A and B are shown apart, each in its own frame.
Chain A
Amino acid sequence: MTSHPTLRIPVARLKRMGAALTVVPLLALSGCGGSSLDDTPNADSTITIGAIWAQSGNYTPLGTDMANGFNLYLTTHGNKLGGHPVVVKTADEGDTDDTALAAARKLLDSDRVDVLVGTASAVPTVKIAPKATTLKIPFIGTGGRPSTIKDVSYIWHTSWLSRETGAAIAPYLAQTVKGPVYAIGPAYTGGYDQMGGFIDAFRKVGGKLANAEGDNPNPDAAFATTPYPVTPDFKPYLNKIRASGAKAVYTFYAGGPATKFVHAYRDAGLSDIPLYGAGFLTEGSQLNPDQEGDAATGIQTVLNYAATVPGQDNADFVQTFQAKYPTIPNLYNVTAWDAAALLDQAIAKAGPHPTGETINAAIGTITQINSPRGTWHFNAQHAPEQQYFLREVRKDGRVLSNVVIRNLTTNIAVSAPPAAK
């Protein structure tokens, strides 16, 4: 029937319908801005902030935490940053760098934001950075910073460098664990950065790994890898630990895989081998009873924040936070809160009509940020120079929480990433 010549009429009509169908949304969208060839930045006193929070996919809980932290700062500061009224446009980070880039494009190109904030995952930063830099819009990262980013002139992270978390705990483990440590983590950029940071620092201070040759298909990495993003089952990987003779295990997992890992670790009968991890293993909603729950008890992790960090700033923050939200504040709340605090200072310094360029310049002049995690400042890589804490999952009242048990050595020297991966 397809070949009947007279079918041309309906097709022509359908095409007209199709064209109309196409043109209408495009024209509607075109209201978002003038010609793409004539892009001039906004120049009124209202600051538009573009926030990329994960609203779908694996990072949704982190996105929600970050949005809560950021919005909390705004609502407690009269919806003004640096004296300027603020409009926040949000877009969904999604599951991948692809969706995150689409979100950044919408905020940068369509909403013409002055500042970009967000992303839970470290990976999209690489894709968003060049775009923001070209447009001279500062990007305040609230999630991990991958080691592979090149030009950081417009890129600032209020969070952490991916390699530094593990490096912070390495000396402590080398000192306290009497015997080799088994390293295991996911096979993606975040995993390689996090675990690589730990292993390099650990070896430097004389630590010994329990991993066998061939645990990682990549000969340059010494830790056991599990598939990412979906790890079907950790059991076969964990079954190797006992035979390795390890006296402790160090790991990095976040989100869904972290929940699975903690349960699998306990199920594998490894409870007598102490489990250490980067703090993301037990951060945020992970400790909820329907996620890790009691299985996480006793796990010691390293992170740059915990709700029990001493100090007035943190006490105030926790009180403010819990007045609005029913949960214990976590690192994701804090990095986003700090991003707002940073912008508060920077916008105030950026002149009467702040633009992306002037705000970025102002950020560079800020010497200190008073954060719930303690004061910190930017280092040369535009990431915080900050304190790390050793925390343990304990019952705190009726709920589980990450309790700070000691400060870890400051002035962490993060070794340079491997030249080429």
Chain B
Amino acid sequence: MVSDLVPWAVTALGGVAYGLLLFVVADGLALIVGVMNVMNLAHGASYLAGAYLACWLADGTLTGLAVAVLAGIAAAAIAGAGLSVLLKPLAGHTEQAAVTLGIGFIASWAFTRLTGGNTLSPPRPAILDGHLSFAGHGYPVYDLTFIVLAIPLAAGMYLIVRRSMAGIRLRAAVDDPLMAAAQGLSVARIRTIALATGTMLAVTAGVLGAPVIGPGPGVDSHVLTLSLIVVILGGAGTNIRALLTSALLVGMVENIGVATVPALASFSLFLIVIAVLVVRGHRQAVSAA
């Protein structure tokens, strides 16, 4: 009996790891959409950049991984700030989306040129390489570590947004930018920081998640679509709990769901989004934007 449940438990664990990875990426996107009201179509490219960075810098040691994370954060901060400068003079949603789309195109072209278009799988730090076995069902140690890392990351995000002064300022800027400015907050700076942080989260997710969703052509639009689904379900902005819930839901659907009903594997998420939209009222969806 127990042995019947093991495959499901292992699959569910996979769903958790996958969901947490998506949470980190989608949280970044939610921040950008929520604070800037910009649909960042290059967000998937940020993940991809992080994942490639992991491949170049990872050398099978924890130090290598740490270096990759730090390098990613530094690069993302610069890129995010640059992007905010690029987006500043543009007014409409469509133009901003077009510019980020263009950046996405150029990035994926450059990645293919630099990597030869291979789907890479970076070496995992030696002590995290290998798998644990549950009644013959393996589960990679790295993914488990990722879960262990991502939970405090999610908790940290939650605490930062809910408890810290930075989070208070962020929420104030999302709720009412003009009033936030009248309180002495520099809304322009908060926006730049939000964009940089959002990009940073995507890049960090890429660095840490490269062994889970490895870098390769097409991964950018795939990650973008998945994180969009999370943001649509969980709402743009600063509601970490809702985002985490929907990210885990997506992770579960992508794991347990596809194993149960393979026929629906490719549609299930889209159908969920549409069902949610039908159920949820117009007003809520608009205010989420």
Contact = CB atoms under 8 A, between A and B. Distances in A.
Direct contact of A and B (CB under 8 A): yes
Interface of A: 54-61, 63-64, 95, 214-217, 224-225, 227, 229-230, 232-233, 235-237, 239-240, 242-243, 255-257, 259-260, 263, 266-270, 285, 288-293, 295
B71 to A, nearest CB: 17
Nearest to A214: B262
Given A233-B14, A239-B14, A268-B137, 19 more contacts: A56-B112, A57-B117, A58-B217, A60-B217, A61-B116, A217-B263, A232-B222, A236-B14, A236-B255, A236-B256, A237-B259, A255-B119, A259-B118, A266-B138, A269-B139, A270-B138, A291-B120, A291-B121, A293-B123
A-B pairs with lowest CB-CB distance, top 8: A269-B138, A60-B117, A256-B119, A217-B263, A236-B259, A267-B140, A256-B216, A235-B14
Interface of B: 4, 7-8, 10-11, 14, 18, 55, 109, 112, 116-123, 131, 133, 136-140, 143, 211-214, 216-219, 222, 226, 254-256, 258-259, 262-263, 265-266
Nearest to A56: B112
A235 B216 contact: no
Contacts of B213: 232-233
Contact of A225 (B117, B214, B262): B262
Given A242-B137, A267-B131, A236 B117 contact: no
Contacts of B55: 290
A291 B117 contact: no
B214 A256 contact: yes
Interface residues of A, dominant DSSP: loop
Task: Output the residue of B55, B112, B219 with the most chain A CB within 10 A.
Answer: B112
Contacts of A57: 112, 117, 217-218
Contact of B254 (A232, A243, A290): A232
A239 B6 CA distance: 9
B256 A263 contact: no
Given A56-B217, A259-B120, A291-B118, A227 B139 contact: no
Contacts of A295: 121
A227 B218 contact: no
B147 to A, nearest CB: 13
B23 to A, nearest CB: 15
19 contacts: A54-B117, A57-B117, A58-B117, A63-B117, A214-B262, A217-B262, A233-B18, A233-B254, A236-B259, A237-B259, A239-B10, A239-B259, A243-B4, A256-B217, A263-B214, A290-B120, A290-B121, A291-B119, A291-B120
A229 B262 CA distance: 15
B136 A292 contact: no
A293 B213 CA distance: 17
B222 to A, nearest CB: 5
Nearest to A63: B117
B222 A230 contact: yes
Task: Output the residue of B14, B18, B262 with the most chain A CB within 10 A.
Answer: B262
A227 B217 contact: no
Given A95-B218, A233-B254, A267 B139 contact: yes
B119 A259 contact: yes
A235 B120 contact: no
A235 B255 contact: yes
A233 B122 CA distance: 16
B220 to A, nearest CB: 11
Given A58-B217, A240-B7, A285 B121 contact: no
A243 B218 contact: no
Contacts of B256: 236
A61 B117 contact: yes
B259 A227 contact: no
Contacts of A292: 121
Contacts of A257: 119
A293 B121 contact: yes
Contacts of A255: 119
B1 to A, nearest CB: 13
Given A227-B265, A267-B138, A58 B216 contact: yes
A118 to B, nearest CB: 16
Task: Output the residue of A236, A243, A267 with the most chain B CB within 10 A.
Answer: A236
A56 to B, nearest CB: 5
Given A232-B213, A240-B259, A290-B121, A64 B116 contact: yes
Contacts of A263: 121, 211, 214
A71 B255 CA distance: 44
Contacts of A291: 118-121
A356 B2 CA distance: 67
A400 to B, nearest CB: 14
